[in-house]
Structure 1
């Protein structure tokens, strides 16, 4: 046996964990009351791997399942003549005591950045 072959046999083979497993642990790691180190230890994982999965989850790279949020529709308002529908639209998002209002037609890239910033 050559030295290179012995070295290859010593290396641990990386495991491909199921996406749902990664997502579940990453979601648990997002909870401030959970110790990421203890979570990793419970599952026999390296802590850095769980931190990486958490970053990937927050970046939307783990294909997070669709989550529905409660939506309340305001009473319809009359749009004045000559005003386009896009000019009269608005979006309002309430998070705790903060309220985000977007009036008119937002730039799609800016809106995407705002909505990404709302993710936990």
Structure 2
């Protein structure tokens, strides 16, 4: 046998089936589950399982942000007391609660955001969730 020195061969990466990944991730999502114990039982590194779970949650969150839980409400422009025009809701129909719970980081803010876009003025006060703001901006951009 001939040996070549100076060249290190890497062991090939293991490739896991999607069904195997999905099964382990589902086990991790059970409340109280130990990711380290599940990884050990599956014969993989816990860090890899944490990555698979993180990727799964990101994918689910992206699907959830595009879902029907974000609703645009029709508004009418009415003058306010100071003479400036203000947007007021026309009618609100009851919105069913979302079916899936998405993990979101909530940022509390007491600030004000004012935008002039496509001939419309948008004023947001207090905390604003990112998905709703993206939907409104997307709708304004499409109407321009």
Instruction: Between the two structures, name the one with larger relative contact order (CA 8 Å, sep ≥ 6).
Output: 1
With the length of structure 2 as denominator, give the TM-score of the two structures: 0.42
Larger radius of gyration: 2
Query: Which structure features the higher share of helix residues?
Result: 1
